[in-house]
Amino acid sequence: MNQLPRLLSGAALAALLLPSTPASAFFEDLCYVPGGGLMQCLPLPANCAPSDDSQACRAGAVAQAAAVGNQTAGGRSMVHVDATYFLAQAVGFDPEAAHWIAAYDEATDLGRYVPADRDGVPVVDPALCDGSAGQPAECADVSALIDGVTRNNMATGGIALHFIAPNNPAGDPLDGLAPHVDDPFHEVALVNFRRWAFAAVPACVGGLTEQSPAGDFATGGQCADLTADSSLDGQVPVLGAIDQGVPMSVPLGEQILQQGAAPADDVLVGDIAGLTGPAVAPWARMGVYLHVLQDRISHHICGDVSTYEGPIAPEQDFLVAYDGQECAQPIHVLRHVWEVGVPQAELDAQDRTTGAALAATYDELLALAQQLGVARGAAGRAAYRQGILTQIGTALEIADPMTRQDTLASRMAARGFAMLRGYLAP
């Protein structure tokens, strides 16, 4: 018998079943303490070594996540924000572009990114950022709301951009630690959102387009809209084989970026410039895409054994089949524990997702910088790339959150890069 439900406290089990369940990769590791200060959001459970995925450690990770979540006032992922900001400058983007790339990377999880100071105090209350002439000056660094792509949005299919199932009904061997971003047959969501980031073509629910002349569903001329009833359907596992999971059914078509009060008020991804402003839109697109890429890597154990199939008659739906064990929330949360604040060499090879995500992020940022003609001369050199990745990767292994944050900031400054907006040098 599966003992996990007995090991989970009532509060921890509730945390898994609430809409706020962290269905994200590279979950927040810097948690903000009310009034100022930082906490490690997901510390290693007591008596659990890295890569120990016992039921006790899974339950411990969930219980700690629930407990910390009740003590904090938000937070951020240093992979999605700090590291991405560092990497963007390292390949050649100026601080303005780097800020918005990182801001929209994180907003893809949280809906909106608000910079915080060194002690985790937000620089402004986002409720004051209403676009009026009298709004605080700090609002200029706050992202637009993009709740349509967030990790727990079941209605718009946002969750499918975080828990990414490849198109793999034949069970081909896939390596999500190093996903092929140019494989439209398997990596549908990655390829579709990459095309949006690099060429501003529409991004679609689940990445699904009409079938292309080559036969894939990622590079068609428009988003899939096979019938009026076509949808992307599936069940997102919670406790694995012992539960039915959380149902998802999303109409196919262009991805919603911001939900309005009524469907007619929704902002689609093709209208992103109207939401962010035309100068920020290219960086926002890249930030969202990088988040999809980073989450594909972080969730690769789940994704590599999951798939979708379609279109299925009569409604021409696509059906996502998530693996009930590898995608269940307890092991999902525990794997997030291992990503930041833990020496990566102590993990099993399949669990070393942080270094893999940093490398893929560097490469994609460099590709865009080269396309735009802003790449730093040294950025294409292997030694320079490895030096940057090592500096970031070793900083992210530091267990103490303040020391981790300050170490990465000082390494940015030592290279002449700007530090995060709102951060005050220690």
CA distance 10 to 237: 18
* pLDDT score for 20: 45
* pLDDT score for 398: 98
Q: Residue 123 gets which letter from DSSP?
A: S
* pLDDT score for 5: 38
Inter-residue contact 189 to 292 (CB < 8 Å): yes
* pLDDT score for 212: 96
Which alpha helices (DSSP H) does 373-400 contain, by range?
Answer: 382-396
Strands laid side by side in the 30-32 sheet = 38-40, 30-32, 75-76
* pLDDT score for 21: 46
Spatial CB neighbours of 412, under 8 Å, sequence gap ≥ 6: 85, 86, 89, 418, 419
Two structure tokens written together for 54: 């016992």
* pLDDT score for 236: 84
* pLDDT score for 305: 94
* CA 229 to chain CA mean position, Å: 29
Q: Looking at the whole model, is its pTM more than 0.75?
A: yes
The answer to whether the peptide bond before residue 311 is cis (omega within 30 degrees of 0) is: yes
* pLDDT score for 22: 42
* pLDDT score for 240: 59
Q: In sequence order, what are the beta bridge partners of 235?
A: 247
Across the chain, which has 426 residues, the per-10-residue mean pLDDT values are 38 39 68 93 92 94 83 90 99 99 98 96 94 92 97 92 91 94 97 96 95 96 88 83 75 96 94 97 99 97 92 90 89 95 96 98 99 98 99 98 98 97 75
CA distances from 215 to 186, 188, 317 (A): 12, 12, 17
Neighbours of 70 (CB within 10 A): 9
What digits encode the pLDDT tens for the residues 269-295? 999 999 999 999 999 999 999 999 999
**Torsion angle of C-alpha atoms 328, 148, 130, 36, degrees rounded to 10:** 10
Place of tokens 């000082």: 410
Give the H or E element holding residue 191: helix 188-199
* pLDDT score for 66: 82
Inter-residue contact 256 to 161 (CB < 8 Å): no
Q: Residue type at 96?
A: E
Spans of all domains in the chain: 4-414
| Polymer length of the chain | 426
* pLDDT score for 103: 99
In terms of Cα–Cα distance, which of 167, 236, 293 is closest to 23? 236
What digits encode the pLDDT tens for the residues 194-232? 999 999 898 999 999 999 999 999 999 999 987 888 999
Give phi and psi for 222, each to the nearest 5: -150, 165
* pLDDT score for 243: 55
